[in-house]
Structure 1
Amino acid sequence: MESGKQGLTLKREVGLVGAVSFIAGTMMGSGIFISPQYVLSVIGSPGASLIIWTCCGLLAMLGGLCYAELGTVIPESGGEYIYMLRTTGKVTAFMFVFSFIIVMRPVSATGIALSFAEYVVAPFYEGCSVPQGLVKCVAAGAILILSVINCLSVRLATHIQVLSMGVKILALVVIILGGCILLFQGNTENFNNAFEGTNVGVSTIGMAFYQGLWSYAGWYNLNYVTEELKRPEVNLPRAVVIAISLVTGLYLLVNVSYLTVMTPTELMSSNAVAVTWGNKVLGSWGWIMSVAAALSAFGSLNGSLFGVSRMCFVAAREGHMPEILAMAHVHRLTPSPALIFTTIISLVVLIPGDFQSIVNYFSFTAWFFYAITLFGLLYLKIKKPELPRSYRVPIILPILVLIAAIFLVLAPIIDSPQIEYLYVALFIFSGVIVYVPFIHYKLCPGLLTKLTVFLQLFLEVAPAEKNL
């Protein structure tokens, strides 16, 4: 952030390298070390799983390019929230921020933190079960450490993201090279009849996309910090193309390596596919993959906390969250109240759960709001073409991604409806019940004002303004 006569504004410190790192670094988290076995088990065959991974990358790329235009037309931090606020209105934007800040983003962050903890603890409990209490303590420690770092310095958080991305790319390159060596040595039997056993169905394909897209989560991350990006009209689309192309290529090669080393049955039965790969290829050095997976998840958690805190910050600035969350530290110039709030919620929801269910419900909610966001882009392109745009995409792109988003929302309930999805939908729309009394009619007790003043003095924060 920058200070001046107009007040505090977010400081533009994120360049192209940092931007690519925030997208790719957040995307390449724990997903690629966990999701491959779930994609394969759902879709049923190695060949179909590789097609799913390719299509997930293509969808993330198209979505990222659409978001890049939104980020240049509406050059404000906050991602989907700010785009919905400017296109579809306050109620829709609040439903989104209510769903994501209160539940979905913290659940996603804690899932990544638990993955980090599993990989950290696993080498010390080889051959036996890992105490879940210890895993939760390590996960909580990771969340707290990264929260402190993000409160202290944007630059330090960016450096961690760049370093983490380098480590995880190195780890993925090791996996790729190991698989290529074995593949060139003639280990191709797992690719014989590659499409045998493919499960074809609307719900099956949708679930496979959910699991694959979990590993691509983060393609939208840079739009949360547009106000801190140098030359966003140039660096935003460039970072999207570079980062998602890099990640898609790496994911495909990593999956080929997994399938070269392990049979489909071994892959589907593995709890930590990268560790299983490391034990088979690296032998006694297999623990290296556990370390690499942990560092990868650590970087992804850092990017996740960075992004969701900015969304919380922007929502508060627009009056959709308590005022204290729209303030920044007067010396360190970071949105520390929003970071602290995000951290507290993440720690509260730090409970073990079923990985597949978390991914499915998270994805269902996410793509519901992605569809609304893309509808907003179409609205701007058709109804307000006069708005200045330094970057444009053909109108066919948001139409295609919108169709894909609608499919992903409907897919899990077409073939086999589950009552849980009704609960998720009810929670999404419950945001309206909260919005009307507390946001629209501002039924807030006077105590909240006193609490805001106390926290403002205690945390040494002041209101921050937009940086356009």
Structure 2
Amino acid sequence: MGRGRAEPSMSPSSTSEKIELKKQITLFQGVSIIVGIIIGSGIFVSPVGILMNVKSVGFSLVMWVICGVYNTLCAVCYAELGASIPQSGGEYIYVKRAFGDFMGFIILWINFLLICPVGIAALSLICCVYILQPLFPDCEIPAMATKLIAICIVCLLIVINGRNVKWATRMQVVITTAKLVALAIVVIIGFIYLGTGDRENFTNSFEGTDYSAGAIALSFYSGFWAYSGWSYLNFLTEELVNPNKNLPRAILISMCIVIVVYLVANIAYLSVLTPVQMLKSTAVAVTFAGQTMGVMAWLIPILIAVSVCGTMNGTALSMSRLFFIGAKNNHMPQFMSMIQYKYLTPMSSLLVILGLTICFQTSNDIWFLIEMEGFGFASVLTMVFAGQVYLRFKEPDLVRPIKVPIILPLVLCLISFAIVILTFYQKPTESYMALCIVGVGAVLYVFGNRWQKKPKVIQSKINFVNQFFQKLLLVLPQDNPDELDWE
């Protein structure tokens, strides 16, 4: 594979080397990406959501394990799909192959508007709340300051991802290490407290448990959000070294690490805080630090902010490749399918993500954004697992280096669909708004893909926009640099 870079000349003849994404993400970096995405704000906030619904310490720990096992099973199914169809684009490619062009576009559109920018916007606002909290201990944090810093953080991450993939993956390794150190501090302190004999919170730990289906489903939703992010490495398959082996290994190693970390972190929290104290807390880790770390309590909010930055960085790194692949399939504007000629990164897709994220950062309701993202992700999972089952019959001879029992994706499809229905019942406003966004996507698909013979006036406008951004960003079509008209 050619690794040379084209010189910054304005002549097509000087760009004769191969323009493409390079295989440079190792197994260790893949694990760091997944762990870095999953361990974000969830473990520092979500314990409240699970405990609030099931109403007992013992069953809340059980739910953390159940949620971890469920997400691991989902990841195993994704590993089969990733090993069988080793193309970047993840679930978009899988659904498109199973159900055709339109359903593939719907998956892409949901990721484009409901999952990627909404998720990054929510995480950036959460990150800034933790950064600013030590500066405003006794008063409300100014909303404008939160939004401005959030924009600056996202801009920095996009610049790093656009400049060099290795910079982004190495930063992800550093951030992942930092957040594991932060959790190690919590765990060590918690187990020291547990070792002193203070085990009151674990006595009769299942007393008062709410075993109703609604309580379990809602607590599952909180855990589901905390574990989300395991699928993103599938978007980077073409840049992963030896993907048939390293993709499933990275997923399984990462999920095992996260389940263990989440379980021991929750035990550590409950070794110091009572269930009542946890339920009154908006950020469990901050309350934990306030009671155990004294003058060093300010360190935890900063480490949480770093942790959340890791999730944003991994999301931008992964999702930009999804939109890049979608544009190559004519499901996004053409300029998004091009690579920056000097840095060999999907700069166009990254800048589109930045623009959409800034739009969503104007929202004052972080939890509204999180619920919108949750609905989108549950919908995507439903279609992915349905497609996986269908592919067993549609393409029985497809080489599957990993092959799970067909009952597994079938059951996961039904569970994911139940989560979608539950979301409509519990959060109708967010769900119907998300459904309207999907409807708009369907209209755009008809206009952009089905309407082939557009009037020359409309087609010329589309061509002008593509050429403008192509020249502005200095991007080239992959493997075909001579198509760029520099004049």
Any conservation in 2 of the 1:203–1:412 contact (CA below 8 Å)? no
Deviation at residue 129 of structure 1 after TM alignment: 1.7
Q: For 1:10 and 1:389, how far apart are their aligned partners in 2?
A: 25
Q: For 1:43 and 1:420, how far apart are their aligned partners in 2?
A: 24
Percent of residue pairs identical? 34
Q: Are 2:346 and 1:338 equivalent residues in the alignment?
A: no
Q: Are 2:425 and 1:425 equivalent residues in the alignment?
A: no
- Equivalent AA in structure 1 for residue 195 of structure 2: F
Q: For 1:358 and 1:458, how far apart are their aligned partners in 2?
A: 32
Higher deviation after alignment, 400-409 or 136-145: 400-409
User: Pick from 439, 451, 454: which aligns with 2:449?
Assistant: 439
Partner of residue 46, structure 2: 35
Partner of residue 181, structure 2: 170
Deviation at residue 33 of structure 1 after TM alignment: 1.2
Partner of residue 468, structure 2: 454
Any conservation in 2 of the 1:72–1:233 contact (CA below 8 Å)? yes
Deviation at residue 90 of structure 1 after TM alignment: 1.2
Local SS of the residue matching 1:235: helix
Larger of the two Rg values belongs to structure: 2
User: Structure 1 203/428 Cα, relative in aligned 2: closer, same or farther at 3 Å?
Assistant: farther
Any conservation in 2 of the 1:176–1:257 contact (CA below 8 Å)? yes
- Equivalent AA in structure 1 for residue 167 of structure 2: L
Any conservation in 2 of the 1:96–1:428 contact (CA below 8 Å)? no
Any conservation in 1 of the 2:18–2:479 contact (CA below 8 Å)? yes
Deviation at residue 76 of structure 1 after TM alignment: 0.9
- Equivalent AA in structure 1 for residue 206 of structure 2: F
Any conservation in 2 of the 1:210–1:359 contact (CA below 8 Å)? no
Partner of residue 386, structure 2: 375
Deviation at residue 310 of structure 1 after TM alignment: 1.1
TM-score (norm 1): 0.95
Any conservation in 1 of the 2:50–2:223 contact (CA below 8 Å)? yes
User: Structure 1 103/401 Cα, relative in aligned 2: closer, same or farther at 3 Å?
Assistant: closer
Partner of residue 241, structure 2: 230
Q: For 2:199 and 2:76, how far apart are their aligned partners in 1?
A: 36
Partner of residue 103, structure 1: 114
Any conservation in 2 of the 1:28–1:247 contact (CA below 8 Å)? yes
Deviation at residue 431 of structure 1 after TM alignment: 2.3
User: Pick from 168, 191, 210: which aligns with 2:202?
Assistant: 191
Deviation at residue 6 of structure 1 after TM alignment: 8.6
Q: Are 2:406 and 1:395 equivalent residues in the alignment?
A: yes
Partner of residue 308, structure 2: 297
Higher deviation after alignment, 398-407 or 330-339: 398-407
Deviation at residue 178 of structure 1 after TM alignment: 0.9
Any conservation in 1 of the 2:19–2:478 contact (CA below 8 Å)? yes
Q: For 1:371 and 1:22, how far apart are their aligned partners in 2?
A: 24
- Equivalent AA in structure 2 for residue 347 of structure 1: I
- Equivalent AA in structure 2 for residue 418 of structure 1: P
User: Structure 1 327/262 Cα, relative in aligned 2: closer, same or farther at 3 Å?
Assistant: same
- Equivalent AA in structure 2 for residue 458 of structure 1: L
Q: For 1:215 and 1:402, how far apart are their aligned partners in 2?
A: 20
Any conservation in 2 of the 1:151–1:336 contact (CA below 8 Å)? yes
Any conservation in 1 of the 2:88–2:325 contact (CA below 8 Å)? yes
User: Pick from 193, 203, 216: which aligns with 2:214?
Assistant: 203
Local SS of the residue matching 2:477: strand
Deviation at residue 392 of structure 1 after TM alignment: 2.1
User: Structure 1 417/236 Cα, relative in aligned 2: closer, same or farther at 3 Å?
Assistant: closer
Q: Are 2:339 and 1:328 equivalent residues in the alignment?
A: yes
Higher deviation after alignment, 398-407 or 260-269: 398-407
User: Structure 1 22/358 Cα, relative in aligned 2: closer, same or farther at 3 Å?
Assistant: same
Partner of residue 25, structure 1: 36
Root mean square deviation, CA, Å: 2.0
Q: For 2:188 and 2:366, how far apart are their aligned partners in 1?
A: 29
Q: For 1:110 and 1:342, how far apart are their aligned partners in 2?
A: 10
User: Structure 1 420/294 Cα, relative in aligned 2: closer, same or farther at 3 Å?
Assistant: closer
Partner of residue 64, structure 2: 53
Q: Are 2:123 and 1:112 equivalent residues in the alignment?
A: yes
User: Structure 1 26/320 Cα, relative in aligned 2: closer, same or farther at 3 Å?
Assistant: same
Deviation at residue 388 of structure 1 after TM alignment: 1.8
Deviations 1:301-352 (A, max 9, x none): 1001111111111111110000000000111000000000001100111034
Higher deviation after alignment, 201-210 or 2-11: 2-11
Q: For 2:167 and 2:430, how far apart are their aligned partners in 1?
A: 40
Q: Can you give the 5+ residue segments of structure 1 that lack an aligned partner in the other structure?
A: none
Q: For 1:373 and 1:64, how far apart are their aligned partners in 2?
A: 12
Local SS of the residue matching 1:8: coil
Deviations 1:81-132 (A, max 9, x none): 1111111111111112222212332111111111111111111112222111
Local SS of the residue matching 2:339: strand
Any conservation in 1 of the 2:371–2:430 contact (CA below 8 Å)? no
Deviation at residue 399 of structure 1 after TM alignment: 2.3
Partner of residue 255, structure 1: 266
Partner of residue 10, structure 2: none
Q: Can you give the 5+ residue segments of structure 2 that lack an aligned partner in the other structure?
A: 5-15, 481-487
User: Structure 1 6/83 Cα, relative in aligned 2: closer, same or farther at 3 Å?
Assistant: farther
Q: For 1:90 and 1:12, how far apart are their aligned partners in 2?
A: 27
Q: For 1:71 and 1:397, how far apart are their aligned partners in 2?
A: 16
Any conservation in 2 of the 1:207–1:360 contact (CA below 8 Å)? no
Q: For 1:80 and 1:437, how far apart are their aligned partners in 2?
A: 23
